[in-house]
Structure 1
């Protein structure tokens, strides 16, 4: 399996750099997609984008796409919607583009401080959450949220990071 991650770190040159290289993100997403098998095809190639930004930009996106005029921690824009018809060419294309994840480093930093975690763990947690959304996971109720949180913890453990889910 191949995974191509396009990382756009909008804060790379600022004092709020994440300290996570594009190669590390690539390694993490590859490990996560492998961990999620058999839900995905091992012979498939995947592509996604990750944008690390600030509260102002994510608030604009949250307002535009979710009609909530406030910052949030992570947004996921799935390219493969479960309810929409899929074209055979899309499924056969290599790599298969699964979508975009946008994370506010500002919000992640606040959440990391509140939880007592390093920023890198919070960013990995949010990226794993976004990836699950790209793959069709959702949490409309407490039970599905708990399943998703457990899956996120498993994904972090697969890359050697630990976080408590509650």
Structure 2
């Protein structure tokens, strides 16, 4: 088994080029390698602001669109997830499918943020994807220290993949 990406495009603003998907697959491998995670499946869905707004309101109680949402399959019912590599028995993760979870990216927000930050849309989508992946495996940014750690990990993966600012 290896890390696999399954994706769909449910928005019409932009077409997702094949080379972007190849880059996202590379980012998944690099991020997994950095975390010592080599098996599992991630589902990625591209949506518009309206769709992500609805999901954000329904699942997080926040009545606004956001850039990325992550839904981990490894949620143990507690508020915080344990980081995957700290799990003692790998077969406890998801023995049926190996599914790590779902990442949903708002293309509308990605376009807006790439313009605000002055970098390519491909880099912004890559950033959001790696950010979502790290959430799937238990990272969060609720305080300054965890935010610095998570953002440093994201930047290292993006740099390795050549997605610089």
Same-fold call, TM cutoff 0.5 = yes
Q: Within 1, Cα distance between the matches of 2:115 and 2:150?
A: 22
Q: Any unmatched runs of 5+ in structure 2?
A: 79-86
Q: Within 1, Cα distance between the matches of 2:142 and 2:13?
A: 36
**TM-aligned CA deviation for residue 56 of structure 1:** 0.3
Under a length normalisation based on structure 2, what TM-score does the superposition of the two structures give?
0.83
Whether 1:101 and 2:99 are equivalent positions in the alignment is no
**TM-aligned CA deviation for residue 18 of structure 1:** 3.5
Whether 1:36 and 2:35 are equivalent positions in the alignment is yes
Q: 1:158 to 1:82 in 2, by over 3 A?
A: farther
Q: Within 2, Cα distance between the matches of 1:115 and 1:137?
A: 24
Whether 1:75 and 2:77 are equivalent positions in the alignment is no
**TM-aligned CA deviation for residue 92 of structure 1:** 6.8
Q: 1:23 to 1:94 in 2, by over 3 A?
A: farther
TM-align CA RMSD: 2.4
Q: 1:122 to 1:21 in 2, by over 3 A?
A: closer
Under a length normalisation based on structure 1, what TM-score does the superposition of the two structures give?
0.83
Q: Within 1, Cα distance between the matches of 2:76 and 2:134?
A: 13
Q: Any unmatched runs of 5+ in structure 1?
A: none
Q: How many residues align?
A: 156
